[in-house]
Amino acid sequence: MKYICLLMLTISQIFAEDISDKEAQYGMVVEFTQQIADEVKIKLEKKELNENEIYTMLSSLVAFDTRVWSAALAFTPSFIDDLDASDWSGFDQPWHYYQLSNGKKLYAPYVWRASNNILHAENIANPKSKFGYDYTSGQWAWWSQAIDSGAPMWMKPVYSNLTGDRMVTYSLPISREAVLIFNVYYGV
C-alpha cells in the first residue's frame, strides 16, 4: 500500500510539472483564449452574440497556432433555456441547439483541424453527428470540472476517439454559462 501511495504521489507530481510546462509552452494560446472568452462574455451580457461569430472565434483560435487541434464553446442547458425565453439582437435565426430525449437542450459549436490542415465545424451536441455527445453528463472532465470550479484548468491527457492520439484540453469557464476549450496533442 505504501508503494502504491508513493507511486500515485509521483505520478501526480509528474503531471503537475507537465501541466506547468503546458502553461509555459502554450502561454500565448491561453492568453488568446482568454481574449476570446472576454469577448464572448461581453456579447452574452449584451445579448448580441450570434452563431456565425461563435464559429469565427473558434476558427481563429484553432488557426492561431498549428499545435491547436480543435476548440469548442459549450453552453449550459439553463443558458439555452434562457436564450429561448429572451429577446436577443444580432440574430438572423436562432442558434442551432439540440434537444435530447430527456428534454435537455445543448449547444456546443466545435471547430477542428483535419489532416489536410483544413478547418471543419460541427455542433458536438448533435446526437446524430460522429462528434455528438452529452457533454453535461458528468463524465467529461473538461466540462464538469470547469463548470464546478469556475476556474480555468488543464485536463489530464486522454486518448482522442477521433484521432487515436493523446490530447490535452485547456478549459476556461465563462460566467458559469459556458466553457471555452482548446485541445492540443499531448506529445507536442
Domains (ranges, CATH) in the chain? 2-185 (3.30.450.20)
Contact indicator for 48, 88 with CB cutoff of 8 Å: yes
Phi and psi (nearest 5°) for 138? Answer: 100, -10
pLDDT of residue 4: 35
pLDDT at position 9 is 31
CA angle at 59 for the pair 32 and 57, rounded to the nearest 5°: 55
Residue 183's closest CA among 120, 75, 110, 107?
110
Neighbouring residues of 95: CB distance < 8 A, sequence distance ≥ 6: 50, 51, 80, 83, 107
Mean pLDDT per 10-residue section of the chain, whose length is 188 residues: 34 44 81 94 86 93 92 93 68 73 92 87 88 91 95 90 84 93 83
* Nearest-angstrom CA–CA distance, 8 and 119: 39
Q: What is residue 159's predicted lDDT score, i.e. its pLDDT?
A: 85
Instruction: State how far the Cα of 74 lies from the Cα of 84, in Å rounded to an integer.
Output: 16
Task: Supply 129's cell numbers.
Answer: 453527428
Rounded to 5°, angle at Cα 51 from 47 and 114: 145
Q: What confidence score (pLDDT) does residue 12 get?
A: 37
**Distance in angstroms (rounded) separating the CA atoms of residues 9 and 16:** 10
Residue 77's pLDDT is 93
Strand (E) or helix (H) holding 75: strand 68-75
In whole angstroms, how large is the CA radius of gyration of the chain? 17
The answer to whether the beta carbons of residues 43 and 57 sit under 8 Å apart is no
Strands 158-159 and 166-174: antiparallel
